[in-house]
Amino acid sequence: MQQLLAPINAFLGCETPESWIQAAKKPEQLHVLLIDHCNCELKAAQTAMMMIRKYAIEKSSADILKLWAKPYEDFVYSQTRDAKAFLNRDVKKNDITADLVASQHLAVSADLLSKMIRLIKEEFHHFEQVLQIMASRGIAYTNMRAGQYAKQLISHVRTHEPLTIIDKLIVGAFIEARSCERFAKLAPHLDDELAKFYTSLLRSEARHYQDYLSLAEEVAGGNITERVEFFRIKEAELILAEDNDFRFHSGMPTVEVLLHKTTK
Ligand SMILES: [Fe+2]
Ligand SMILES: [Fe+2]
């Protein structure tokens, strides 16, 4: 575990502050933590899908991706969702990705496609795992506003290619690395089932961070240290800034959050 975490901790600009862990381990915050975690897994899959739709597959394959995401999106966006029915749904064809047609858009398209497909499969699986734990604890999935973290990071992505894709990949690396760091920090404070689950997620999230970073380097075809440093500072600023919301990637909880006065 220390071997997995050492490069992640070296990559991130700061550790998760103790005050965030204090807020996160409160039993009354558990439903917020799990629902937001669930959303993060779906967002991670959707973001990777957008990356391959834009940079790695032929337009004709876009519908295959849509079909893949449909059950998850239908569940999340429907008002009459039923977690048990969703989890027990009949999955007819497990690997629709074999039908995707890779594009020659970028020299790294094939690598991007294979890494992102694996990532999407894992994020969808994590989504279902979180939902399963929630269902077993009687925590219903509800629509919850996303935190500012990812949105703020994405706001710094440069707007012309290939700088856009390089920045998006670096942002992906930071989000995955932070998730990994937080799972490790949280695990000792949670009950056995959640501690085991969060520890089990470390390995894949650590690989996702590495995949994003190596893809960014491949696309750039040169040194990206300066840009990584730019995002390292921006990311650490968000983690160390006061935050009125409590979320999986939120900043330092305000007094209101610590007193559990904000729930939305
Ligand atoms: Fe995940
Ligand atoms: Fe991930």
Domains and CATH numbers, the chain: 13-258 (1.20.1260.10)
Higher-confidence residue of 246 and 259: namely 246
Q: What is the pTM of this model?
A: 0.93
- Residue 177 to residues 152, 213, 229, 236, 252, Cα–Cα distance (Å): 16, 10, 14, 12, 18
Instruction: Return left, alpha or beta for 260; rule: phi > 0 is left, psi -120 to 50 is alpha, else beta.
Output: left
Helices (H), the chain: 2-11, 18-24, 30-55, 62-77, 83-87, 109-136, 149-154, 163-186, 192-220, 225-240, 255-258
pLDDT in tens, 6-60: 999 999 999 999 999 999 998 888 999 999 999 999 999 999 999 999 998 888 8
Are the beta carbons of 170 and 213 closer than 8 angstroms? yes
- The predicted pLDDT at position 82 comes to 87
For residue 238, how far is its CA from the centre of ligand 2 (angstroms)? 19
Residue 261 scores a pLDDT above 70: no
Tell me the mean pLDDT in the region 209-220.
95
Separation CA 49–CA 73 (nearest Å): 13
* Cβ-proximal residues to 34 (8 Å cutoff; 6+ apart), any chain: 130, 133, 134, 139
For residue 184, how far is its CA from the centre of ligand 1 (angstroms)? 13
- The predicted pLDDT at position 257 comes to 80
Residue 260 scores a pLDDT above 90: no
Higher-confidence residue of 255 and 49: namely 49
Reported for 71-77, long-range contacts at CB under 8 A and 24+ positions apart, including other chains, are 72/42, 72/45, 72/124, 72/127, 73/42, 75/141, 76/39, 76/42, 76/141, 76/143
For residue 215, how far is its CA from the centre of ligand 1 (angstroms)? 18
Higher-confidence residue of 5 and 58: namely 5
The bound ligand whose nearest atom lies closest to the alpha carbon of 39 is 1
Separation CA 22–CA 2 (nearest Å): 22
- The predicted pLDDT at position 196 comes to 93
- The predicted pLDDT at position 135 comes to 93
Phi, psi at residue 142, to the nearest 5°?
Answer: -130, 160
Lowest mean pLDDT among 26-40, 102-116, 221-235: 102-116
Lowest mean pLDDT among 17-31, 78-92, 157-171: 78-92
- The predicted pLDDT at position 94 comes to 60
- The predicted pLDDT at position 108 comes to 81
> Which protein residues have a CB closer than 5 Å to ligand 2 (ion)?
44, 176, 205, 208
At residue 95 the predicted structure's pLDDT band, cuts being 50, 70 and 90, is: low
Q: How many CA atoms lie within 13 A of 18 on its CB side?
A: 0
